[in-house]
């Protein structure tokens, strides 16, 4: 395996509604900031890959317009996944492993505000048997939360404490939407949104963009004082039918973590893409994280959840802390699909 590192990360402030700013306008400063921090121009980058979904914009080919933000001229070697940007990063990492490139620009973008995201995500479901019933994303998450509570492993108070910590951590994240000191008892006094989930158990609706630059070996060392090396990266998918899954566990995360080598060394920081409080608890267990691991210092997806971006942001946030020297070995995670159907795990390490 070639040594590949994250050498640069940039993101836009996550907002409830970016309004008249389109994807190109949102992406342009972020992509160029990531390149500038790496000291590379687009033409020096070997491969570019992005993640987005047409259904957020309600228009086909939304990623085609996004390349206008790059100034892709002369033509570039480029690809796109209809997935969170974390999987675009995976494709770019594969390209570098192949030797077809030594560096890559990866970005994800999404304006969740363009439609009713709760309903839009229903269109991810089996189109013949499930989607016509329009179960929305929060209701499906509530089913999962109910199953977890009934397993007696966790209580509603545990869920609230995840929200409290997320918002407390987000106070030091200028790009977060939800930050502050909240009292768990006060949260638990709130009414249910979709039982057993309260509003604080659910993510905010976010518009956002993130970009990462990857580089191999000596190139990474040259352009970054302390690269965040990708020591392992893997992703796995579970069945789509909720009825055949044990929703209280995340076997795909367990398997991806094993393949990525999470347990091959001590982990001091984790950035988990858990849009719902109970999902963080499931993921923590699946990854086998000890109690002393610093969890979601950015505030995680509960503080800002730009769909198609939030997974890549987790990787970027973890990498930033390694590059800053405040972490040595970190795990970053991304999820996709209803109730954590698909999961990606990435192990990052400083020199």
Partner 1 sequence: MGELCGVVGIGQTKYAAKRGDLSIAGVVREAAIRALEDAELEWKDIDAVVIGKAPDMFEGVMMPELYLADALGAVGKPMLRVHTAGSVGGSTSIVAASLIQAGIHDRVLTVAFEKQSDSNAMWALSSKQPFSPHINAGAGGYFAPLIRTYIRRSQAPDHIGMLVAFKDRLNALKNPYAHLHIEDISMQKIEDSFMLWAPIRYLESCPSSDGACAMVLAREALAKDAPRPPAWVLGTAMRTEPTMFAGREEVNPQAGKDCAADVYRQAGIENPRRDIDVAEVYVPFSWFEPMWMENLGFAEDGEGWKMTDEGETALDGDMPINPSGGVLSSNPIGASGMIRFAEAALQVRGMAGEHQIDGARVALGHAYGGGSQYFSMWIVSSEQP
Positions in the binding site for partner 1 (CB under 8 A):
1, 22, 48, 53-55, 57-61, 63-65, 67-68, 71-83, 87, 90-91, 94-95, 97-100, 114, 120-121, 123-128, 131, 234-241, 251-252, 255, 336-338, 341-342
Q: Which of 297, 299, 344 has its CA nearest to residue 319?
A: 297
Closest distance between partner 1 and the C-beta of residue 106, in Å? 14
How would you classify the pairing of strands 228-237 and 342-349?
antiparallel
Quote the tokens at residue 83: 């997935």
**Residue the block writes with tokens 């930050």:** 179
Q: Which helix (H) or strand (E) holds 198?
A: strand 197-198
Choice between 24 and 188, CB closer to partner 1: 24
Choice between 255 and 346, CB closer to partner 1: 255
Choice between 1 and 185, CB closer to partner 1: 1
Choice between 29 and 115, CB closer to partner 1: 115
Quote the tokens at residue 80: 């796109």
Choice between 57 and 223, CB closer to partner 1: 57
Closest distance between partner 1 and the C-beta of residue 14, in Å? 19
Closest distance between partner 1 and the C-beta of residue 48, in Å? 8
Cα atoms found within 13 Å of the Cα of residue 1, Cβ hemisphere only: 11
Classified as helix, coil or strand, 209 is strand
Quote the tokens at residue 347: 């192990």
Closest distance between partner 1 and the C-beta of residue 292, in Å? 31
For residue 59, what is the DSSP state? S
Q: Return d(Cα 113, Cα 226) in angstroms, integer.
A: 36
Closest distance between partner 1 and the C-beta of residue 132, in Å? 11
Q: Which of 205, 210, 321, 339 has its CA nearest to residue 283?
A: 339
Choice between 100 and 324, CB closer to partner 1: 100
Q: Return d(Cα 148, Cα 74) in angstroms, integer.
A: 52
How many other C-beta atoms lie within 10 A of the C-beta of residue 217? 15
How would you classify the pairing of strands 197-198 and 192-194?
antiparallel
Closest distance between partner 1 and the C-beta of residue 65, in Å? 8
Closest distance between partner 1 and the C-beta of residue 162, in Å? 25
Choice between 14 and 114, CB closer to partner 1: 114
Cβ distance 273 to 310 under 8 Å? Answer: yes
Q: Return d(Cα 15, Cα 235) in angstroms, integer.
A: 28
Closest distance between partner 1 and the C-beta of residue 320, in Å? 26
Choice between 64 and 186, CB closer to partner 1: 64
Q: Return d(Cα 321, Cα 224) in angstroms, integer.
A: 13
Closest distance between partner 1 and the C-beta of residue 240, in Å? 5
DSSP string, 243-305: GGS-TT--HHHHHHHHHHTGGGS---EEE---SSHHHHHHHHHHHT--TTSEE-TT-GGGT--
Choice between 281 and 308, CB closer to partner 1: 308
């Amino acid at each position: 395996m070639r040594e590949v590192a994250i050498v640069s990360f940039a993101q836009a402030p996550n907002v409830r509604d970016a309004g008249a700013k389109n994807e190109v306008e949102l992406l342009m400063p972020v992509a160029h900031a990531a390149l500038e921090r790496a000291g590379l121009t687009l033409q020096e980058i070997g491969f570019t890959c992005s993640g987005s979904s047409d259904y957020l914009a309600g228009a086909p080919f939304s990623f085609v317009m996004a390349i206008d933000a790059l100034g892709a001229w002369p033509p570039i070697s480029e690809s796109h996944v209809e997935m969170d940007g974390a999987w675009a990063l995976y494709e770019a990492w594969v390209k570098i492993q192949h030797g077809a490139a030594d560096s890559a620009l990866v970005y994800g973008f999404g304006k969740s505000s363009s439609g009713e995201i709760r309903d839009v995500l229903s269109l991810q479901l089996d189109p013949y048997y499930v989607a016509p019933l329009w179960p929305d994303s929060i209701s499906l998450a509530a089913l999962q939360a109910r199953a977890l509570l009934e397993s007696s492993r966790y209580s509603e108070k545990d869920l609230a404490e995840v929200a409290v910590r997320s918002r407390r951590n987000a106070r030091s994240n200028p790009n977060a939407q939800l930050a502050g000191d909240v009292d768990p008892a006060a949260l638990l006094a709130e009414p249910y949104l979709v039982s057993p989930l309260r509003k604080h158990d659910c993510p905010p609706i976010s518009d956002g963009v993130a970009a990462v630059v990857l580089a191999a070996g000596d190139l990474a060392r040259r352009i970054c004082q302390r690269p965040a090396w990708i020591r392992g990266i893997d992703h796995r998918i579970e069945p789509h039918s909720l009825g055949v899954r044990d929703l209280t566990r995340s076997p795909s995360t367990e398997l991806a973590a094993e393949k990525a080598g999470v347990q091959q060394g001590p982990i001091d920081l984790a950035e988990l893409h858990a849009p719902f409080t109970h999902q963080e608890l499931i993921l923590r267990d699946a990854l086998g994280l000890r109690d002393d691991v610093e969890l979601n210092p950015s505030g995680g997806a509960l503080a800002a959840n730009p769909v198609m971006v939030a997974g890549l942001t987790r990787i970027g946030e973890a990498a930033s802390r390694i590059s800053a020297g405040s972490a040595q070995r970190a795990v970053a995670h991304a999820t996709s699909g209803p109730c954590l159907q698909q999961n990606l795990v990435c192990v990052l390490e400083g020199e």
